[in-house]
Amino acid sequence: MRIVALVPGGIGDQILFFPTLDDLKRSYPNAHIDVVVEPRAKDAYRVSKAVHSTIVFDFKERNSLADLGNLLGVIREREYDIALSLGQRWTVGLLLWLTGIPNRVGYAGSAGKTFLTSAVPLKQNQYAAQMYHDLLQGLDIHTPTPELALSVPAKDLEWADGERKRLGLQSSGYVLIHGGSSQLAKSKGIDKIYPVASWKGIIQDFDRRQPDLPIVLVQGPEDAAFVAALQETSPKLKVTTPADIGKLAAMIAGASLMLCTDSAPMHLAVAVKTYTLALFGPTDPKKLLPESNRFIGIKSLTGKMADISPQTVLEKVWSS
């Protein structure tokens, strides 16, 4: 049995798809499962236990016939038995039909539904991991959606142990702050940035109430200015720079509390079950967080991240 899943989107979208992949593997334990993903999301599968290999394809670009032809050739060569598609463009449906894969599952209402062998109702007003998992109904799999779970490589766990020792965290809990956002979100005008001044207010309150509680900032490739600005507030702030998603997940797993915006690290925190407070601007927390008192979404009443007051966040922190 060979299965391929076409999963457009960033790292967060891939992590939300992990429960679907895990259930596929449970239903077809001997299956060889591959995923087609955008270049920016390939790293997510470092922490997946279900996927054999990734095929890189940039869904968000306007692909030429040559690009589509190359992907078609790769998929046809591997002779898959089942294809799952999250994409709703007609070109994706046509491509799957041209592959000759006998079982092609996607969403009803998509532009490419004509080319599918099974179309599942698209229910967008639910947690995204459940929405993705609904695709398995097209394979007559009707199990409940599993919780998000990761398989972090042992060498990444070892790195995190060493990193905590370097930061002086080995004998205590810590608060982890991830406040960055990708340049892609910025370029699309998606409001996922919480102002530095507001983060400073939160950090100052921690310093006043819990002066011995370490606060660690996560610095990604695009976060240098953000981290530098916060370090001006408190010289006690510690900084970690995980090189990949496995190491980041391992650092999140060791934290007592994760403070973050709507981002891929938020989904990692859910998967490793770290208590999380996540800030949301225009997006809906109910679609991106599971129902749980461990994962709290703080939604801006205006839809603007800047309008979430530090006091609103701190009330959630100290009441938990």
What is the per-residue pLDDT across 105-149, written as a single tens digit (0 to 9) for each?
999 987 778 899 999 999 999 999 999 999 999 999 999 999 999
Token readout for 122 is 């698209």
pLDDT digits (tens, 9 = 90+) for 213-272: 999 999 988 888 899 999 988 888 999 999 999 999 999 999 999 999 999 999 999 999
Where does the pLDDT of residue 192 fall: very low under 50, low under 70, confident under 90, or very high at 90 and above? Answer: confident
Largest CA distance in the chain: 64
Q: List the one residue out of 149, 204, 191 whose CA is nearest residue 282.
A: 191
DSSP H helices, the chain, are 11-27, 65-78, 90-99, 128-133, 154-166, 183-187, 196-209, 224-231, 245-253, 264-272, 285-288, 310-319
Q: How many CB atoms lie within 10 A of CB 309?
A: 13
Domains, the chain: 2-139 (3.40.50.2000), 154-319 (3.40.50.2000)
CA separation for the pair 228, 197 (Å, rounded): 13
What is the number of residues in the chain?
320
Picking from 37, 32, 78, the residue whose alpha carbon sits closest to that of residue 54 is 37
Q: Is the pLDDT of residue 183 over 60?
A: no
pTM of the predicted structure, to 2 decimals = 0.93
pLDDT surpassing 70 at residue 286? yes
Residues 57, 60, 66, 72, Cα dihedral to 10°: 50
